Amino acid sequence: MTGKNMNEKNDKMEKVISLCKRRGFIFPGSEIYGGLANSWDYGPLGHQLKQNIKKAWWKFFVQEREDMVPLDSAIIMNPRVWEASGHLQNFSDLLVECKKCHHRFRIDHLLEAKGIEPQYDKEPNEMDLTDITCPDCDGHLTEPKAFNLMFKTFIGITEDSTTTAYLRPETAGGMFVNFKNVLNTTRRRLPFGIAQIGKCFRNEITPGNFIFRTREFEIGEFEYFIDPKDWEKIFAMWLDEIKRWWQDIMQINMDNLVWHEIPDGERAHYSKRTMDIEYKYPFGVKELHGIAYRTDFDLSRHEKVSGQDLHYTDPITNEKFLPHVIEPTFGIDRMLLVCLLEAYNEEQAPTADEGETEARVVMKFPKHLAPVQVAILPLSKKEELSSVARDLAQTLRKNFLVDYDETQSIGKRYRRQDEIGTPFCVTVDFDSLEDKKVTVRDRDTMQQERIEISELKNYLISKFNF
């Protein structure tokens, strides 16, 4: 990447962050107390955008499939769940500390910055870290040490090892410990999946890049239980579904995705195939989400640690075996970041003056994901117009996410709606009182059409392809 391209890209990130704050998508967390580093609050539009992404994800991966069931498990689970999954022993990053300024860094990030492949197959004390100094002050670094990312808490009033519990670092554990409950109550046959979306917590050492890496975030994931003989076919089926998700539902530029097959030696020891789906963020190509074939690692570990039988009996062959698992996992906040980056556009738009143009920022969200779908804009605040416009807004609220705005000039109101990505603006003018029609403006083409008020709902429904 040239210096110019790099600046343009970082510039885009800055512009998106600034738009998010200005328009109420995402605010710095705890701002009136000076903030809390790397924590973010979703404002009215950001929350709605997130809801829309989660709803679309749920519809695509759960509701529309006959082989998927939903679950909502607890955030705080019996700590033995994390003993079985290996999180208590292994869920850690390797850290070094600068002996001079005492800043801490993740080894893999330091190596990456130097263009050196992290040596995942080596023990910390075997890694060659000569030549690597503190990126902040050039000081010498300590030996690497493992730092566990689990967020610890205590249940009840005493704080000791018997009351220690953890906030979940992923939702997967809930799906594994409820495998038998779901099987017994839904009478499912393999293959089938258990899905959930929920908050997760990781005490990240180097959070940053806006909402890309935070300590509190949401994951949408599912555990798809299979007969091991079918794993290759089912893995390929999920890769196709994931492509369809990005292309048809999130409608992103597919050239911005990088399909990173994790090679032997870099995968977790129990995984036979892992694919990281990466995205070309302004700050570099980094993970967006992933899919892994986890074999029977999870159920066998939970069987061993809990002492419960988690085997499945095939109803036709009577064969008894531990199901294997394919796990597609999605960071909801990373998907939202990608949605914002893909939507951000700066372009020239015609003004009211013949032949004149002005710059406009427009968030071209896929229409079904936009946090406001229809804006109702009366041309005057006069009661005779605003009462018609308010009634119209209220009627449309049953089907759409509607904003009502009667302040400022119509040009300014269009710019505001463009900036928050509203696909359709409906203006109500004095002619509307006579001809019972309104003007509908399309966000992307800026074309305007006169539509009968009585037809407006159906017209908009056809545009959204609900």
Q: Which residues bind ligand GAP (CB under 6 A)?
A: 170, 172, 202, 204, 213-214, 217, 219, 221, 287, 289-290, 327, 329, 331, 333-334
Query: Per-residue DSSP letters for 291-333?
Result: EEE-TTHHHHHHHHHH-----EE-TTT--EEPPEEEEEEEEHH
Q: Which is nearer to ligand GAP, 49 or 141 (CB)?
A: 49
Q: Which is nearer to ligand GAP, 134 or 325 (CB)?
A: 325
Residue 459 sits at φ, ψ, to 5 deg, of -60, -45
Q: What's the min distance (Å) between Cβ of 384 and ligand GAP?
A: 50
CA-based angle 260:263:268, to the nearest 5?
100
Q: What's the min distance (Å) between Cβ of 381 and ligand GAP?
A: 44
Residue 423 sits at φ, ψ, to 5 deg, of -65, -35
Q: What's the min distance (Å) between Cβ of 405 and ligand GAP?
A: 33
Closest CA to 364 of 441, 426, 410, 418: 418
Q: What's the min distance (Å) between Cβ of 277 and ligand GAP?
A: 8
User: What's the CA gap between 220 and 197, in Å, rounded?
Assistant: 4
Using alpha carbons, list the distances in angstroms from residue 38 to 30, 404, 461: 11, 33, 39
Q: Which is nearer to ligand GAP, 333 or 403 (CB)?
A: 333
Q: What's the min distance (Å) between Cβ of 85 and ligand GAP?
A: 9
Q: Which residue is nearest to ligand GAP (CB)?
A: 331
Q: Which is nearer to ligand GAP, 338 or 460 (CB)?
A: 338
| Contact yes or no for 79/204 (Cβ under 8 A) | no
Q: 288-310: b or e for each residue (b if 16 or more CB lie within 10 Å)?
A: bbbbbbbbbbbbebbbeeeeeeb
Q: Which is nearer to ligand GAP, 334 or 437 (CB)?
A: 334
Q: Are strands 424-428 and 374-378 parallel, antiparallel or unpaired?
A: parallel
Q: Which is nearer to ligand GAP, 289 or 367 (CB)?
A: 289
Residue corresponding to tokens 């048809």? 248
Using alpha carbons, list the distances in angstroms from residue 132 to 64, 108, 135, 144, 205: 51, 12, 8, 12, 19
Q: What's the min distance (Å) between Cβ of 258 and ligand GAP?
A: 13
Q: Which is nearer to ligand GAP, 325 or 388 (CB)?
A: 325
Class of residue 2 by CB neighbours under 10 A (exposed 0-12, middle 13-18, buried 19+): exposed
Q: Which is nearer to ligand GAP, 333 or 418 (CB)?
A: 333
Q: What's the min distance (Å) between Cβ of 312 and ligand GAP?
A: 21
Q: What's the min distance (Å) between Cβ of 310 and ligand GAP?
A: 18
